[in-house]
Amino acid sequence: MQIRTQLHVSSSDYTSLQQRCCECRATLKLLGRLVQVSEGLPHIEKLIASQSYGEATLVRASTRDVLFEIKQVYGDEVLVLPSLVAELNTQEEKLLSCIAGRWTEMVNWKSSPVVLTISSGPEALLELEQLSQSLQNIGYLSGIVAKFASKVMTLIVNKLLSEDVCEVQIKQDASSVSIKIVVSATGETERGVVHKLQSFTMLIETLYQHLLRVNVRNEMSSSVKTARECNGIKDVVLAASREKDLVDVKSSRSLMSMFGDACSDACIERLISHCLALAIPSCRSELAQFSPIQQAVEGMNKKE
């Protein structure tokens, strides 16, 4: 009877110790997550200061993911959580401001007259790729490309296709390429249509060559998932770097694709209504004059 009583007490003690052990493990896990956040916030600040925006966006994503995980598990029990979330929001605003500010410097619009200037050259293209990837990581790239496409349509394409006295002028030097609409007589209507089609093609090719050929990847899903298993901020950065090399090529997307999503329908409508419709022959005798226009359209369709 005494042995049975002792076994019961021992079993009860074991259960209690097991429960306390689980609680300690949970507490240690929480403390580890909080340490990861406390390391991540100042590291984001340092990365912003060094203009390492790509890494900053990845650390920001993993830090936000950890905070969300803590919120889900512990709710409002962790009193310091609101302060950490507020600090991260401040860092995110600063990060976005820096990335968008640098983008505006490299893809710059001026008015009266309207001039679009894009930084060019291998180094500039690499920086534009890094900025684009950073904007993609924080979910703002498609909006910025859509806004860019809207300005291209409103300030350049509409004038080029609807006004016979306007044409696009493109100038390039060692560090930039500038695009603007200038007033110039285009001659006869048929030649004017061909000239508009050629100018439109040249415009899109220039945008593609210096900006829209940039590709971005979907880094967030894999990098953040891996970061959940990391023990510190250095592991997060290393994991993100490894995952970047493993991202499926199918997950990449070009700025040209986003640009097309934003304005391809409007471009086609303008080309038809303000350019091609006006040049369609109304009788058989005008077919010969339409041939150069047909060739220009076919040439434009062959462009990749």
Query: For residues 187 and 217, is the Cβ–Cβ distance under 8 A?
Result: no
Whether the per-residue pLDDT at 188 is higher than 50: the answer is: no
> What pTM was estimated for this model as a whole?
0.77
pLDDT at 50: 95
* Final residue before a domain boundary, out of 54, 72, 102: 102
Whether the per-residue pLDDT at 249 is higher than 50: the answer is: no
Whether the per-residue pLDDT at 226 is higher than 60: the answer is: no
Say which amino acid occupies 51: Q
Top-confidence range, 30-39, 177-186, 267-276: 30-39
Residues 201 and 264 reside in one and the same domain = yes
**DSSP code of residue 250:** G
Residues 34 and 93 reside in one and the same domain = yes
62 vs 15, higher pLDDT: 62
Residues 50 and 134 reside in one and the same domain = no
pLDDT at 189: 45
In a domain, 176, yes or no: yes
Whether the per-residue pLDDT at 289 is higher than 50: the answer is: yes
Query: For residues 161 and 271, is the Cβ–Cβ distance under 8 A?
Result: yes
Residues 162 and 89 reside in one and the same domain = no
- Give residue 285's pLDDT band: very low, low, confident or very high (50, 70, 90): low
In a domain, 222, yes or no: no
Residues 82 and 182 reside in one and the same domain = no
Residues 270 and 145 reside in one and the same domain = yes
Residues 10 and 90 reside in one and the same domain = yes
Q: Is the dihedral of CA 293, 297, 302, 304 positive or negative?
A: positive
In a domain, 207, yes or no: yes
Please name the residues in contact with 203: beta carbons below 8 A apart, sequence gap of 6 or more.
156, 157, 160, 168, 170, 179
Query: For residues 171 and 178, is the Cβ–Cβ distance under 8 A?
Result: yes
Residues 32 and 164 reside in one and the same domain = no
Q: Which domain holds residue 46?
A: 2-102
Whether the per-residue pLDDT at 234 is higher than 70: the answer is: no
Residues 270 and 203 reside in one and the same domain = yes
- Give residue 303's pLDDT band: very low, low, confident or very high (50, 70, 90): low
Distance, CA of 18 to CA of 215 (rounded, Å): 52
Whether the per-residue pLDDT at 16 is higher than 70: the answer is: yes
**Mean local confidence (pLDDT), 295-300:** 58
In a domain, 237, yes or no: no
Looking at the chain, list the stretches that DSSP marks H as alpha helix, in order from N- to C-terminal side.
Answer: 2-49, 53-74, 81-106, 122-137, 141-152, 158-162, 189-207, 220-227, 233-246, 255-271, 277-279, 287-302
In a domain, 170, yes or no: yes
Q: Total domain count for the chain?
A: 2
* Final residue before a domain boundary, out of 44, 75, 102: 102
In a domain, 235, yes or no: no
Whether the per-residue pLDDT at 190 is higher than 50: the answer is: no
Residues 271 and 210 reside in one and the same domain = yes
- Give residue 199's pLDDT band: very low, low, confident or very high (50, 70, 90): confident
In a domain, 234, yes or no: no
In a domain, 167, yes or no: yes
Whether the per-residue pLDDT at 174 is higher than 70: the answer is: yes
* Final residue before a domain boundary, out of 71, 102, 133: 102
Residues 190 and 53 reside in one and the same domain = no
Residues 139 and 21 reside in one and the same domain = no
Whether the per-residue pLDDT at 132 is higher than 80: the answer is: yes
233 vs 74, higher pLDDT: 74
